[in-house]
Every structure is written in structure tokens, then in C-alpha cells.
Amino acid sequence: MDPTSWIKKYETERYVYTKDVNQFVVELTEGLTPGTAIDLAGGEGRNAVWLAEKGWQVENIDFAQNALDKCALLAKERGVVAKVLTTCASALDFTSQLAPVDLVLVAYLHIYSHQFAVAMQNAVAALKPGGTLMGVWHALENIQHNSHGPQNPDTLPSVESLTELCHGLGLRVQVCENRDGFVRTDEGPKPSVTVILLATKPI
């Protein structure tokens, strides 16, 4: 796996995925007490910086250094530089500066399923006992609906595949469901099914 295409995508001053936190991250974070967090494959940092604004100490781990540079700029803009760390590394093999943490967020990491399983295993390993794994992805069902987002089914999680993966990793699944909605694209809003996950690592 190679970050080249991602680095190319981020070579613009524009925030490709906007500076706005994902609505499901806001929803799933409700009720959690701020602590330490890893945003795995956090890109330009829209979610990491929002978490920092809410009082979390966050580490954005992504393999595209220019995305992390944009994350650091956004943190500065929002006055939370001290609360946002960045680590340029692969989700398949990283050493975290903050682990073990209270929360790992994985948002829109669409990679082949065998690699995804390794990334999720690493996410769980970086959690404290009692910690929370939170995730948001384009769902497999998008393919059937001819929707926006990745088109290779092997890179698209479903409620079933995530539940099975989480159980295999020893997690307690609290929320794993599809949500209908829209994603912003260059051609305007497009319908999209999102799968969301909230799971805890047993104490």
C-alpha cells in the first residue's frame, strides 16, 4: 500500500474533505468523556481538530504527510495546537505517541478487507481496556444503489462484516447500523448509505 495517490489528492490548499466534522462522529461521541484519542487515517484532520476543540488530546495517524500538515494548520486556526499530534505512518504498522488511548476513530478508511482487518486489530491494540472504537464508512450497500464512493466491494464494510470483525477482536458492539443520507461531491449532494460503529474493548 502506497500513499502516493493520497498525497497527490491533498496537494491543494482546499480541504478535500472539508474542515467540518462528520455528523456521525458528533453523534457517536455524545456522552463520551473527553480523554485521549487516535484518529486513524484522519487525513486533513476535520474530525481530530473537532475532537480537540471538545477537550480531547488527539493523535492523527495518516500516511499522507501533506494531509497531516493541513491538519496542523487547521489546529492552529482553531486554537488547539497543543491538543493535536500528528504521526505519519501506515494504519497497518504504526507506533502511536499517545497509546493506549480512550478512543480510536476510524473514518472512511476504505482499504482491502485483509488490510482493513489488520488496521482494526491495530486500532483495538491501541485502546485502553474499557476504551471505545468508533467508525464511519461508506457502506457496501452503496454499490447496489450505484452511489458515490469507493466501488470495489472488498473495500466497503457492511453491518455484517463489521459485526463479525469486532466480535473476532473481542469487542462489545453497541451500535452497528446503516444510515441513509447524502455526501457532498463536486457535482452536488449524492445519496449515500453510511455504516456507523461504536464498540468497546472489555475491561
Q: Which is nearer to ligand SAM, 14 or 203 (CB)?
A: 14
- Whole-number minimum distance, CB 61 to ligand SAM, in Å? 7
Q: Quick one: cell of 145?
A: 444503489
State the binding string over 104-143 for ligand SAM (x if CB under 6 A, else -). ---xxx-x--------------------------------
d(CA 56, CA 107): 17
CB contact burial 170-197 (16+ within 10 A = b; e otherwise): ebebeebeeeeeebeeeeeeeebbbbbb
Q: Which is nearer to ligand SAM, 88 or 159 (CB)?
A: 88
- Whole-number minimum distance, CB 135 to ligand SAM, in Å? 10
- Taking CB under 6 A as the criterion, the residue among 6, 27, 121, 161 binding ligand SAM is 6
Contact by Cβ (8 Å): 50, 25? yes
What separation in angstroms does the CA of 25 have from each of 18, 103, 136, 199?
Answer: 14, 12, 8, 13
What separation in angstroms does the CA of 156 have from each of 57, 91, 110?
Answer: 29, 17, 6
79-108: which residues touch ligand SAM (CB under 6 A)? 90-92, 107-108
**Which distant-in-sequence residues (6+ apart) come within 8 Å of 122 by Cβ?**
40, 91, 92, 93, 94
Q: Is 76 helix (H, G, I), strand (E, B) or coil?
A: helix
- Taking CB under 6 A as the criterion, the residue among 38, 49, 67, 156 binding ligand SAM is 67
Q: Which is nearer to ligand SAM, 64 or 140 (CB)?
A: 64
Question: Does residue 21 bind ligand SAM (CB under 6 A)?
Answer: no
- Whole-number minimum distance, CB 17 to ligand SAM, in Å? 4
State the binding string over 37-56 for ligand SAM (x if CB under 6 A, else -). ----xxx--xx---------
- Whole-number minimum distance, CB 107 to ligand SAM, in Å? 4
Q: Which is nearer to ligand SAM, 107 or 176 (CB)?
A: 107
Contact by Cβ (8 Å): 30, 8? no
Of 124, 130, 122, 108, the closest CA to residue 33 belongs to 130
Given the rule CB under 6 A, which residues bind ligand SAM? 1, 3, 6, 17, 22, 41-43, 46-47, 62-64, 67, 90-92, 107-109, 111
